[in-house]
Structure 1
Amino acid sequence: MHLRTTLTGVTVLASLAVAGGVGYRIGQEDGPAGTPPPPRLALANSDLAVASSCDALLESYVDRGVEQVGAWGWGGGVVLQEGDVSMPLSSSAAGGVERSMPTTSRTTSEESGTNVQEAGVDESDVVKVAGSLLLRMRDGALMAYDVSAGTPALLSTTRIPDAHGAGRVGDPSGELVLVDGRAVVLGSTGGSTVVTTVDLSDPTSPSIVDTTTITGRASAVRVHGDVVRIVVRSDLPTLDFSSPDGALGELRAGLRNRALVRATTLADWLPTVDGRPVVDCDDVAVPDDETLALGTTTVVAFDPADPAARTATAVATDSDTSYFSADRFYLAAGAPSWGWSECLTCRRPMSAPRDTTPIFAFALDGTDATYVASGEVRGTIADRWSVDAVGDSLRVAVGPGVGTADANSVVTLREEGSSLVEDGRVDGLGVGEEITSVRWFDDLAIVVTFRQTDPLYAVDLTDPAAPVLLGELKIPGYSDYLHPLGEHRLIGIGQDADAQGVLRGAQAALFDVTDLTAPRQIDVVRYDRDTFAGASADPRQFTWLPDQRTALTVVSRFGAAGTTGWVSVLSLADGAMTNRMVDVGPDVDGVRLVPLASGKVVLVTGDDVSFLAL
C-alpha cells in the first residue's frame, strides 16, 4: 500500500490481524483500453474487505454501530469474550551465557528544544527554538522571541484561531512544530482540529498562509524531516440520542437511537475537510473482526511549504496509542467500548479489556506511507512509551490482559512477509503490579513496575530472539519517567512511597547501571509531601544538560491556596545530586526549559521568557 495521492487521497488498513498477515499490491498499472482499472487497494487476507461502493462502506459502519447502541445511546449490545486463562512464563535467567553488557547511551534531545521519545522525530510542544529564534504559544497567540542577546526580546505576536491549549498531556491543541521557517500550530473547535501554517521568514512580521479544519480530534503530532504528521481520531458520531421515559421507554428509546445511527452519513464516521471525507471510499478497508473499537484513526501528512497538498493513511478503528520511529508508524488497535446493553443506571461506555492487542505497521517515506505488516501481542499496551523499534525489531512492554497471567512482559517482534511475528519475550515482570515507565535503548529495556515497591528491571535485547532479564532492583516509590545520563547513570522521576506503597510526594532517583545484573539506587532527592513531578505525566518538562551535568525538572503542589510550581535544578557530581528550587508561579503546565546551542537555558513560564541562572 503506497500512498501518492494528494488532497483527499488516502489508504486505510483496519483489522484484527491474527497469526496470518495482511498484504497489499501496490502501484498497479491500468489494464488495456476498455477494461476497468484494478482497485487501488488489494487485500490478501479475508480479515479485511474493501467496500464495493460508498453506500456499502456506510452500511458497514452503520451495521457495527447499530450493534453498539441501546436505550441510553452508545454502549449497548457488546459482548465480552472470555480468553485463555493461562500464559506460560518463560525463564529469564541468563543461563551462564557470556554476553557483552548493553548500555544506556541512546539520547533523545531534539534541536527544537523538546525532550522527545525518538531522536530525529520531533514532537509538538508549546515552545520551539531554531537558532536565535524562539517561538511559544500562549493564550491562542504565537509569540516570537530573539534569544541571541542578554535578555530575550519579543519580536511579534500573531493570533492563531482556536489555538487555546496549554501544553496538556495528550492534547496537542495550542501546540506547534517548526519546519524550515514555518510553524504549524494546532487548535481545536467543536470536536475538530484546526491546523494553521504560519510563515516566519520575517519573524517580526509573520503571516498565516493556510488554515485547515479537519473533523476529529488530534492526538499526536510528529515531524520527520520536513514532513508534518497529525494523528486524528474520529470517535463514534455525536447524535441526538433519546433516553428512556415512561412505560416501554427503553424499547422506544432503543428503537429511536438505532434509527439515528441508520440515518448517519459517511461524514459522520470519517474525518472531513470542508465537508469532504479525507478518505476515499475505495481506500477504506473494513475489518472482519467486529470486536475492534469502532471509529477511524487517520494520519494526515504534509510539507508546510505546501500545506494544501496532503496525503493520509487511516486505520478503521479508534485508538489513542500510536508510535513513530524514524521510518515506521505503528498503531495499536483500541479496545471496543462496552457496558450495559439496556442497563438502567449506566450512562457511559467503558473500555473493554482484551487478551491481545493488534498492531499495524507502516513504512514512512516523505509524505507517503506503505503498509508493511500487522500482528498482535498478548496483553495490553499502556501507551506509546511502551513501544520501540530498532532496525528490524519491534519491541513492546505489555501488561496483563484478559486471560493472561497477572504479570508484565517485554516482547520482541519481527516483520515476516506481511506479518509481525513474535521473535522473543521475557515474562513474569512485576507479578501483580502495573508498569509505570519504560525506557528503550538500542539493546536494552529498563522497565519499572509498582504496587508497594518499585521493581526496576533491566532486560538485555542484544539478541531479539532471546531477550534476557539481567537484574532487578526493589526500592520504595517508583519512577514514571526514566532518562539516561550517559552509559552508567540513569535518573528516574516519579513518586516517593513508604513500605506499604502509600505515596508521599515527588522524587528524583539516581541509578548506577554500570552492572545491569545489579542496578543500584545511589542517591535520591525527595520533594515536599503532596508534590508532583511534571515529567511523570509529560516528559517535555524534563531537560538534561550533559555539559553541565545538570537535570532540570518541574515540580508542583496543589493546595488550598492553589497551585505552586518550581524548577528543580539537580546538579550531579561524584554519584550524588544537589538540588536548588526556582519558583515559577502557578501556571505549571506550560513551563518549559529550553537549552540553546550557546549553553544558555531559556525558562518559559506563564508570563515570562527569561534565561535560567545555572
Structure 2
Amino acid sequence: MSRRSWLWSALAVLPLAGCTASTPASPPSSPAPPLRLVAFDSCAQLEKELRAAAELSSTAEQGGARLAVPDNARAADAGAAPGQAAPAHSSTNVHEAGVDEPDIVKTDGRRIVTITGGVLRVVDTASRAQTGKLALGLKAYGEPTLLLAGNRALVLADGGGGPMLREDTRIIRPAEGRSELLLIDLSSVQPRLISRYRGDGRIIDARQQGSTAHVVIGSGPDFQRPFRGDTVPENVMQDDRNTIKATPLDAWLPDWEITTGGRTTKGQLDCAAVSRPDSFSGLRMLRVLTFDLNAAELGAGDPVAMVADGDTVYGTDDSLYIANNETWRFNTAASGTSRIAPPDGTNIYRFSLPPVGKPAYVASGKVPGRLLNQYSMSEWEGHLRVATTSWADDASAVRVLRERNGKLTEVGVAEGLGKGERIYSVRFIGPRGYVVTFRQTDPLYSLDLSDPEKPRVTGELKITGYSSHLQAAGENRLIGIGQEADAQGRPQGVQVSLFDVSDPAAPKRLDQHVVAGGQSEAEADPHAILWWPATNLLVMPVADAKADGALALRVTGDRLRDVTRLAPAVASAGPMRRAVVVEDVLWSITGEGLLATDTSTLDRVAWVDMR
C-alpha cells in the first residue's frame, strides 16, 4: 500500500493537538491534564479548528501509519410483553446486571429472537417452532445485533469496519459507511419493520436500560481526494493541504435519513450542537443517540455530539462511559517508519443517564496506558476503577478515579502488575478486582479496592496459559475461559479453570478442563458464554478438529463435572454461537437452527430448523 494511502487512513483518526490550532501537543511524558467538555464559540470556530487539525495531522504524518482491527468486541431482561408473565429464563451475558448489551440472540422467555444472514427470526419456546421471520434488507457492513424490550426489537447494523477501494486504485482505507438502526414490531406472528434509521459512521456500541437504548456512533470527515500519479512526498502533502482547505464544514457533520411507512425524512448534525474536550479533541465526531423502543417510530435520536475519538463503551444503570481506547494504533515510531507517537493515555468521558431525556455530559478524565475492553472499567460506590497496560513497558496498573468538579481525578493506584506482559482479562466484583496478565505464564492478581485511595495487590497465582475472560460463579468463585499454553507461552487449546478466591492473599485453581487444539468464540466475546447459576451450568461454543458445537459443564463443589459436547442435529447447521435457558430447557443457537436439550440431563428434546 502506498505511503499516501496510509496517510489518509491516519488522517481520519488522528487526534487534535489541543483546543486550537496554535496549541502545541503535550509531550507524552507530561502528566495527563483533567478534561472538560466545552462548546465551540461558533460554527466558524469549529470549522477552523477541524481544518487546522487536519492540516497538522497531514504535515506530521510523512511515514506510514498502520491501522489494525481493535482487540476487542447481553443482558438483563427488558421484560415480557405487557400482561404476560415471563417464564424463568436466562439473559445473554453482560457486564452489569440490569444493563443490556446488543447481541445476535435475545429472549424474554416466551420467545427467542435471533439474527443471522440479515434475517430476523422468532422461535416460540412453548411450541418449539419458528413462528416468524423478516428479511431486514440491510446495506450496512458487519454482523447485525439486536436489543429487545417487550414487543419491540431494535436491530443495530454497523456501517464501518471494512476496506473500501476509492477512485484512486492505489488507495484502500477503512470505510465509514452508513450504519442502520431498525425498529421492529413483534406483537404479531410475523415481525414488522416500523422505522429504519441510516446515518453516517460506525456503531461503536450501545446500552439499554428498560425500554431506552443509547447508541454510540463515531464518524470521520469525508474528504474527496484528487488522483495524482506523482508520488513525490512534498507534492502529495501539498495536495492534501489543498484538499483540506477546500473541504466544507459539512464534511465533518454526519447526516442521516429515517424511513417510516414509505415516508423518508433527512437531517444533519447542527454545528451549534457540537462540543469538544478542552485538552483533547480529534478529527472524528462522536455522538450518543437515545431511542425509546416503545415509541411509535424512530426519530433522530436527539444526538449529543463532541469532537473526539471513542471505541470502548461501558454502562451502568445511570452512567455511560466512553473511552478513546486507541488499541488499534501501532507504535511505528520505534522502527523509524512513522513520526506518529504512541498514545500517551486513554481519555474517558462520563455521561449521566436521566430517567427521561437525553444523556448529559458530567465529567472527563485521562489514565495512562490502554484498556483491554469494557471489563477494564467498573463503577462502584461513586468511584471508577480502570485497568490499563502501559504502551512503554507493558506494565499494568489499576487506577481509581473520583469525580471532582467535572473531572475524573485519580485518587489511588496499584501499579507493577505483570511487567513485560499485557492484560488478558479483568473482572471487578464489588470491592475486589482480578487481573490476568500473560506472556509465558498467567499471573492471576487479586486486588483489594475497598479503600479507593489505597488499592493494593493482595495475592498472585501463576499457572500456565491464560484466561481471556473471568466469569463470576457464585461467592468466592471465578471461572476463567482462555487457552492452556506450554512453557514457552504457545497456546495448546481451550481451557476452563475454576478458581477459589476466598483468600485474597492466595487465589488458587481448583479444577481445569482443556480441549486440546480447541478454540472458542467466548475467548474474544463474553456474550458467547452462558452461566446459569440455578444449576451451576456453564455453556460456551468450542470447536476443534473433531467437532464444532458447544461445551457444557457444571460446577459441583470444587470440581468441573458432567462435561458434555453438544452438536447440532444437522451437520450443515454451522457452529454453535450462543446459549440461553428457558425454564428447564437449554437452547443452543446456530446460524441455521436451535438445539433444545434438557438442562438436567442434557438429552436432546427438539431441533428447530431455521433454514
With the length of structure 1 as denominator, give the TM-score of the two structures: 0.78
Aligned to 1:64: 53
1:582 lines up with 2:566 in the alignment: yes
- 1:483 Cα deviation after fit: 0.6
Aligned to 1:399: 389
1:114 lines up with 2:99 in the alignment: no
Aligned to 2:320: 329
User: Is contact 2:35-2:277 (8 Å) kept?
Assistant: no
- 1:432 Cα deviation after fit: 0.9
User: Is contact 1:445-1:458 (8 Å) kept?
Assistant: yes
1:541 lines up with 2:532 in the alignment: no
1:229-244 equivalence runs, <5 A: 229-237=214-222, 239-240=224-225, 242=227
- CA distance in 2 between counterparts of 1:475 and 1:532 reads 19
Aligned to 1:198: 184
**Compared with structure 1, are the counterparts of its residues 351 and 483 closer, same or farther at alpha carbon in structure 2 (3 Å cutoff)?**
farther
- 1:293 Cα deviation after fit: 4.0
User: Is contact 1:51-1:284 (8 Å) kept?
Assistant: no
- 1:394 Cα deviation after fit: 0.4
Aligned to 2:422: 434
Indicate which of 537, 545, 549 corresponds to 1:566. 549
1:556 lines up with 2:543 in the alignment: yes
1:192-591 equivalence runs, <5 A: 192-202=178-188, 204-237=189-222, 239-240=224-225, 242=227, 245=230, 249-274=232-257, 278-287=268-277, 289=279, 292-306=281-295, 307-308=298-299, 310-335=301-326, 352-365=341-354, 366-402=356-392, 406-529=394-517, 531-557=518-544, 564-578=547-561, 579-584=563-568, 591=577
- Letter of the 2:301 counterpart: R
1:125 lines up with 2:103 in the alignment: yes
User: Is contact 1:363-1:369 (8 Å) kept?
Assistant: yes
Q: Secondary structure of 1:385's partner?
A: helix
- Letter of the 2:287 counterpart: T
- CA distance in 2 between counterparts of 1:112 and 1:383 reads 24
- 1:391 Cα deviation after fit: 2.5
Indicate which of 128, 133, 156 corresponds to 2:132. 156
**Compared with structure 1, are the counterparts of its residues 270 and 78 closer, same or farther at alpha carbon in structure 2 (3 Å cutoff)?**
farther
Range with greater deviation from structure 2 (408-417 or 273-282): 273-282
> For residues 117-163 of structure 1, what are the alpha-carbon distances to aligned partners after superposition, in whole Å with 9 as ceiling and x for unaligned?
111110111111113121111211111111113xx211111111217
- CA distance in 2 between counterparts of 1:478 and 1:112 reads 27
Q: Secondary structure of 1:161's partner?
A: coil
User: Is contact 2:520-2:541 (8 Å) kept?
Assistant: yes
**Compared with structure 1, are the counterparts of its residues 552 and 469 closer, same or farther at alpha carbon in structure 2 (3 Å cutoff)?**
same
User: Is contact 1:565-1:587 (8 Å) kept?
Assistant: no
User: Is contact 2:282-2:309 (8 Å) kept?
Assistant: yes
- Letter of the 2:312 counterpart: T
- CA distance in 2 between counterparts of 1:546 and 1:128 reads 19
- Letter of the 1:214 counterpart: G
- 1:510 Cα deviation after fit: 0.9
> For residues 467-526 of structure 1, what are the alpha-carbon distances to aligned partners after superposition, in whole Å with 9 as ceiling and x for unaligned?
121111000000001111101221100000112212111111111112121111111111
- 1:351 Cα deviation after fit: 7.7
- CA distance in 2 between counterparts of 1:351 and 1:301 reads 35
Q: Relative contact order (C-alpha < 8 Å, sep 6+): which is higher?
A: 1
User: Is contact 1:78-1:339 (8 Å) kept?
Assistant: no
> For residues 86-130 of structure 1, what are the alpha-carbon distances to aligned partners after superposition, in whole Å with 9 as ceiling and x for unaligned?
xxxxxxxxxxxxxxxxxxxxx976567310111111011111111
User: Is contact 1:217-1:233 (8 Å) kept?
Assistant: yes
Q: Superposition RMSD on alpha carbons, in Å?
A: 3.1
User: Is contact 1:121-1:324 (8 Å) kept?
Assistant: yes
- 1:62 Cα deviation after fit: 1.6
**Compared with structure 1, are the counterparts of its residues 329 and 141 closer, same or farther at alpha carbon in structure 2 (3 Å cutoff)?**
same
Q: Secondary structure of 1:68's partner?
A: helix
1:600 lines up with 2:600 in the alignment: no
User: Is contact 1:78-1:338 (8 Å) kept?
Assistant: no
Q: Secondary structure of 1:368's partner?
A: coil
- 1:18 Cα deviation after fit: 4.9
**Compared with structure 1, are the counterparts of its residues 337 and 164 closer, same or farther at alpha carbon in structure 2 (3 Å cutoff)?**
closer
Q: Which runs of 5+ in 1 are unaligned?
A: 1-13, 24-42, 44-48, 80-106, 166-170
**Compared with structure 1, are the counterparts of its residues 239 and 266 closer, same or farther at alpha carbon in structure 2 (3 Å cutoff)?**
same
- 1:277 Cα deviation after fit: 6.0
User: Is contact 2:394-2:422 (8 Å) kept?
Assistant: no
- CA distance in 2 between counterparts of 1:243 and 1:428 reads 50
- CA distance in 1 between counterparts of 2:212 and 2:277 reads 29
- 1:550 Cα deviation after fit: 1.6
Aligned to 1:139: 117
Range with greater deviation from structure 2 (433-442 or 319-328): 319-328
User: Is contact 1:302-1:367 (8 Å) kept?
Assistant: no
- 1:258 Cα deviation after fit: 2.2
User: Is contact 1:128-1:135 (8 Å) kept?
Assistant: yes
- 1:227 Cα deviation after fit: 0.8
Count of paired positions: 522
**Compared with structure 1, are the counterparts of its residues 539 and 340 closer, same or farther at alpha carbon in structure 2 (3 Å cutoff)?**
closer
**Compared with structure 1, are the counterparts of its residues 334 and 433 closer, same or farther at alpha carbon in structure 2 (3 Å cutoff)?**
closer
**Compared with structure 1, are the counterparts of its residues 109 and 337 closer, same or farther at alpha carbon in structure 2 (3 Å cutoff)?**
closer
Aligned to 2:81: none
- Letter of the 1:415 counterpart: E
> For residues 273-304 of structure 1, what are the alpha-carbon distances to aligned partners after superposition, in whole Å with 9 as ceiling and x for unaligned?
139665321222245546x5421121111102
- Letter of the 1:327 counterpart: D
Aligned to 2:156: 186
- 1:20 Cα deviation after fit: 4.4
- Letter of the 1:253 counterpart: V
- 1:458 Cα deviation after fit: 0.7
> For residues 215-242 of structure 1, what are the alpha-carbon distances to aligned partners after superposition, in whole Å with 9 as ceiling and x for unaligned?
1011212111111111111134354354
> For residues 174-229 of structure 1, what are the alpha-carbon distances to aligned partners after superposition, in whole Å with 9 as ceiling and x for unaligned?
11111231111122557111111111111x13221111101101121211111111
- CA distance in 1 between counterparts of 2:378 and 2:253 reads 29
- CA distance in 2 between counterparts of 1:214 and 1:565 reads 37
- CA distance in 1 between counterparts of 2:181 and 2:277 reads 30
- CA distance in 2 between counterparts of 1:475 and 1:337 reads 30
> What is the percentage of aligned positions where both structures have the same residue?
31
Q: Secondary structure of 2:567's partner?
A: strand
Q: Which runs of 5+ in 2 are unaligned?
A: 1-17, 20-25, 66-73, 78-88, 160-175, 258-264, 603-611
Q: Secondary structure of 1:354's partner?
A: coil
Q: Secondary structure of 1:282's partner?
A: helix
- 1:462 Cα deviation after fit: 1.3
- CA distance in 2 between counterparts of 1:567 and 1:337 reads 34
User: Is contact 1:186-1:194 (8 Å) kept?
Assistant: yes
User: Is contact 2:537-2:555 (8 Å) kept?
Assistant: yes
- 1:574 Cα deviation after fit: 3.2
**Compared with structure 1, are the counterparts of its residues 480 and 232 closer, same or farther at alpha carbon in structure 2 (3 Å cutoff)?**
same
User: Is contact 2:223-2:247 (8 Å) kept?
Assistant: no
